[in-house]
């Protein structure tokens, strides 16, 4: 009888965790910057705590290391079966200047060894979304909007009879993006994730059919992480630590890396409070990728609230879990 009671309690606890977990699809450009590695570590840490359920990890960047990097990080965090997708085109193709990606790909085990091993990004989106409850999925983009623009234009297939926009509207709860920024004079800002594929950014900002929460450039800029991570002697054989160690050294950076992508992941899973305030705003994305503030309230935009050093500790603690 006692064993049955314990088993019942465990099942109730497991059910509570599964109901609490936020279903996440992560779309990343994981090569030109290493805050994406930090973001992956934060997401897996939150999944370990029962706060997130990772449905897929997808690359919007066709650089050769992106798919193996996703594979090795999912494997390292003991989730090797998470589906991986990549955009099937010749661009965007943004390399890894500090060579941290090549280093960890060579060192750590992974099942997908080249980008051709991954599923087409749009097909994977459609497959995963079609199997989820309505209005349940949070998509996080910490890279370019290439895949999302293609998803909106997609037609019915073996996974769903719905066109892309209708599938998104039915299945996605919200889109959380590290994107855009507010210039000092408020007239415009050229943020990397937006300008690399400006045409796709325009399409998503204009036509995306669910609520969008934006973590702008200035949000993660003062949140510096990586210094405690690489100094942590108890953390050994970690691709996260290695990536930051290699990149910070190559950059001659002794202060830590801006935590742009980690802020988007944290808020997508836990919500803005107590980390940030949120205000309504509107953007126009111009042909050159400039994000200009215009009248309106189409988007939710994160505003600094918690002191940057305190927020950095929250994020880096998750990165080191």
Q: Is residue 2 part of a domain?
A: no
Q: Is residue 3 part of a domain?
A: no
Q: So what's the pLDDT on residue 321?
A: 85
Peptide bond into 274 cis (omega under 30): yes
Q: Please give the structure tokens belonging to residue 49.
A: 């705590």
pLDDT digits (tens, 9 = 90+) for 83-105: 999 999 999 999 999 999 999 99
Q: Is residue 156 part of a domain?
A: yes
Q: Is residue 29 part of a domain?
A: yes
Task: Average the pLDDT over 191-216 and give the result.
Answer: 98
pLDDT digits (tens, 9 = 90+) for 134-143: 999 999 999 9
Share of the chain above pLDDT 70, in %: 93
CA distance 243 to 124: 27
Count the Cβ atoms, other than its own, within 10 Å of residue 305.
13
Q: Is residue 8 part of a domain?
A: no
CA within 13 Å, CB half, 55: 24
CA nearest neighbour of 54 among 133, 120, 139? 139
47-59: burial string, b at 16+ Cβ within 10 Å, e else: beeebbbbbbbbb
Q: What is the DSSP string of 226-276?
A: SHHHHH-TT--S-HHHHHHHHHHHHTT-SS-EE-HHHHHHHHHHH-STTTE
Q: Is residue 14 part of a domain?
A: no
Residue 60 · residue 121 · CB < 8 Å: yes
Q: Is residue 9 part of a domain?
A: no
CATH code for the domain in which residue 231 is found: 3.90.245.10
pLDDT digits (tens, 9 = 90+) for 210-226: 999 999 999 999 999 99
> What is the domain count for the chain?
1
| Sign of the torsion angle spanned by Cα atoms 100, 105, 107, 108 | positive
Question: Which residues span the domain enclosing 66?
Answer: 21-319
Q: So what's the pLDDT on residue 233?
A: 96
Indicate the average pLDDT of the chain: 94
Q: Is residue 252 part of a domain?
A: yes
Which helix or strand (DSSP H or E) is residue 284 part of?
A: strand 283-285
To the nearest 10 degrees (0 to 180), the angle between helices 239-250 and 66-76 is 130
């Amino acid at each position: 009888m006692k064993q049955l009671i314990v088993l019942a309690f465990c099942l109730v606890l497991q059910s509570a965790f599964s109901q609490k977990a936020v279903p996440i699809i992560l779309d990343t450009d994981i090569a030109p910057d290493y805050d994406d590695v930090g973001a992956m570590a934060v997401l897996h840490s939150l999944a370990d705590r029962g706060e997130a359920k990772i449905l897929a990890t997808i690359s919007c960047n066709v650089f050769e290391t992106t798919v193996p990097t996703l594979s090795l990080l999912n494997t390292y965090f003991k989730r090797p079966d998470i589906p991986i997708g990549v955009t099937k085109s010749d661009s965007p193709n943004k390399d890894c200047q500090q060579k941290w990606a090549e280093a960890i790909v060579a060192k750590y085990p992974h099942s997908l060894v080249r980008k051709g091993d991954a599923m087409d990004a749009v097909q994977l989106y459609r497959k995963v979304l079609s199997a989820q409850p309505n209005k349940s999925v949070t998509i996080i983009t910490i890279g370019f909007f290439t895949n999302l623009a293609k998803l909106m234009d997609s037609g019915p297939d073996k996974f769903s009879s719905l066109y892309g926009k209708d599938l998104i509207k039915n299945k996605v709860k919200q889109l959380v993006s590290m994107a855009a920024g507010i210039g000092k004079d408020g007239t415009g800002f050229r943020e990397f994730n937006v300008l690399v594929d400006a045409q796709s950014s325009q399409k998503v900002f204009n036509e995306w059919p669910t609520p969008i929460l934006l973590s702008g450039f200035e949000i993660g800029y003062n949140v510096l992480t990586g210094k405690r991570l690489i100094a942590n002697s108890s953390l050994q054989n970690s691709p996260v630590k290695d990536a930051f160690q290699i990149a910070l050294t190559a950059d001659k950076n002794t202060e830590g890396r801006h935590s742009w992508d980690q802020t988007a992941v944290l808020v997508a899973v836990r919500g803005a409070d107590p980390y940030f305030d949120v205000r309504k705003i509107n953007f126009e994305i111009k042909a050159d990728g400039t994000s200009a503030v215009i009248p309106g309230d189409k988007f939710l935009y994160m505003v600094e609230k918690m002191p940057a050093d305190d927020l950095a500790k929250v994020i880096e603690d998750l990165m080191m879990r």
